[in-house]
Amino acid sequence: MMIDRRLIREVDWVLLGLVLLPSLIGVFFIYSSSHFLAGNYYFRQLVWIGVSLIALVFVLVIDYKFFVSLSVYFYGLTVALLAATLVFARFIAGTKSWITLGLMQFQPSELAKIVLILLFARLFAEYKSSYLTTQRMFFALLLAGVPLILIILQPDLGTAMTFLAIIGGAFILAGLRRKTILVFLLAAIVVGIGGWSVGLKDYQKRRLTTLVNPLHDPRGSGYQVIQSKIAIGAGGLSGKGFMKGSQSQLRFLPARHTDFIFSVIGEEAGFLGVLTVIGLYFFMLARMFSSVSKARDRAGVYIIFTAALLISFQFLVNILMIIGLFPVVGITLPFISYGGSSLLTNFVACGLVMNVRMRRFANV
């Protein structure tokens, strides 16, 4: 399948640049925060960036409409994979979310995010009424609920939360009435209270109480937030310099190269570094959301919007979490944190956005 020359002209090179730049910044800080560990994380991340770029090209080559039309099969496959993960996978860091494919370890729950984006695009492609009906809403919730429950069972609270972002995004786009929002809020409160007393694990409860008062448990889950805030605050305006942060180099920071990599940036590059990275994200997200207006059809709008929301949500939760404004849930900073599955997912999501924008003219 050859790609049209005109299509290459339409590729959103700006967005690609805005995605690659944070990815490369990420490699530097992964190096800074893990060079004393065995495992060459920065190199592995570079390889993953390469793999992700290939995947992105692959996503670009095929018309998104084709993906949307296949989304039901993808969905079935993903649910099966998630179920298999739950049965066969070994526990890693307390959860069963990884499966091993040859040399690579992969999280099917990451793949599920993409599938959900495509599935909802298909579900709402012909949905022209200005508000979401209860019937359709329940159907959508049912579809999303199956993989969601499988993920909660792993248990992987972070990914489950990003799922809610995608679902919520699609519903907002389809149009939520005030009444529906109220029902959702009520349901959230009931589930929240019920979940607190029944469903949440102790460590998850601790994370929530820690948000209110990190000193409540300074050696346990409060420790991460305290150390992270110390690192960020100690960075000051211009930071302590690359590979010179005492919090990260002396390992006071937890999960330095994954969830808490932005703390390393805050410590070593200071507020200027933070401003630069957050600025890059702002332009990246602005570029993605602006592509909404370039989409040719409703399915395209849904794809761009939910994909952009997926990245926005992870980004916001991560930067709020490491500074103590959000509970510590295992959500990484997209493109920057170490981790192949999440990198791949975000690149693919980005590829879908570019795919829709690229094919915005009906006659090609």
Partner 1 sequence: MPEVSIYEDLSLVRRRANTVFWVISALIFLALSFYWKVQIVDHKKFSGLAEANRIRQRALAAPRGLIFDRTGKILADNGASFKVSFIRENVEDMEGSLVKVGRLLEIDVETLRSRIEQYKDLQPFEPIVVEDGLSSRDVAPIESRLLEFRELVVDVEPRRLYPNGTLAAHVLGYLQERTPDELRAEPDRAARVGEMVGKTGVERQYDDILTGEDGKIIEVVDSLGRVVREENARQNPVQGGSVVLTLDHRLQARAEKALEGREGVIIALDPRSGEILALASFPTFDPNRFITRFTPTEWRDLMSDPLSPLENRAIRGLYAPGSIFKLVMSLGGLEFGFVTPDTSVFCSGSTQIYGAIRHCWYEPGHGSMNLADAIKNSCNIYFYTLGRRMGIDMIDKAAGLLGLGEITGVDLAGEKEGLVPSSEWKTRTLKTPWYPGETISVAIGQGQLQVTPLQIAALTAIIAKRGQRKPPHLFLSAPAGGKGGVSADEDGKPPFKLSAFESVIAGMWRSVNDGGTGKGAFVEGLDVCGKTGSTQVVSRESAERLSRAGREIKTHSWFSGFAPRDNPRIVVTVLVEYGGGGGATAAPVAGRIFELFKDIQEK
Q: Is residue 86 a contact point for partner 1 (CB under 8 A)?
A: no
Report the residue from 43, 138, 196, 282 that binds partner 1 according to the rule CB under 8 A: 282
Binding status of residue 259 toward partner 1 by CB under 8 A: no
Contact between 274 and partner 1 per CB under 8 A: yes
Is the distance from CB of 174 to CB of 125 less than 8 angstroms? no
- Using CB under 8 A, which of 38, 101, 142, 362 touches partner 1? 362
| Residue count, binding to partner 1 (CB under 8 A) | 52
Candidates 103, 130, 202, 213: give the one binding partner 1 (CB under 8 A): 130
For partner 1, which residue of 17, 175, 192, 241 counts as binding (CB under 8 A)?
175
Binder among 233, 241, 244, 364 for partner 1 (CB under 8 A): 233
By C-beta, is 45 or 263 nearer to partner 1?
263
Is residue 283 a contact point for partner 1 (CB under 8 A)?
no
* Least distance to partner 1, CB of residue 270, Å: 7
Task: Tell the smallest beta-carbon distance from residue 100 to partner 1 (Å).
Answer: 29
**Which lies closer to partner 1 via its Cβ, residue 23 or residue 318?**
318
**Position 243 contacts partner 1 (CB under 8 A):** no
* Using rule CB under 8 A, residue 76 touches partner 1: no
Shortest Cβ distance from residue 64 to partner 1 (Å)? 15
Instruction: Tell the smallest beta-carbon distance from residue 68 to partner 1 (Å).
Output: 15
C-alpha to C-alpha distance for 135 and 183, rounded to whole angstroms: 14
* Position 271 contacts partner 1 (CB under 8 A): yes
| Interface positions with partner 1 (CB under 8 A) | 128, 130, 169, 172-175, 227, 229-237, 246-247, 250-252, 266, 270-271, 274-275, 278, 281-282, 285-286, 289, 292-293, 295-298, 301-302, 304-305, 308-309, 312, 316, 319-320, 323, 325, 362
